[in-house]
Amino acid sequence: MPKAKKSGAGEAKESKTNTSLRLERKTLKALKVRAIEEDTSVQKIIEKLIEGYLKKAAKRES
């Protein structure tokens, strides 16, 4: 049985799923520019922000 491919964060590729969101055109453009400046991807920036938000919310609940 073939092993799951690893993503950049070391997670199995199958553990990720697709979603979509709607952003203002200027917001997405600024986000793309920022990603290029930081040599990263829009996906990684958004994922990092969401993870931080969820950790902060979990701390408030405990």
pLDDT at 29 over 60: yes
Which of 7-11, 13-17, 37-41, 56-60 is the most confident on average?
37-41
Is 41 a domain residue?
yes
pTM of the model: 0.71
Spatial CB neighbours of 12, under 8 Å, sequence gap ≥ 6: 4, 5, 6
Q: Are 46 and 34 in contact (CB under 8 A)?
A: no
Domain count, the chain: 1
Mean pLDDT on 49-55:
98
User: Which residue range(s) make up the domain with 38?
Assistant: 22-61
Higher pLDDT, 57 or 1: 57
The yes-or-no verdict on residue 7 having pLDDT over 80 is: no
Q: Is residue 9 part of a domain?
A: no
Alpha-carbon distance values, 4 to 12, 14, 16, 27 (Å): 6, 7, 12, 34
Does 30 map to a domain?
yes
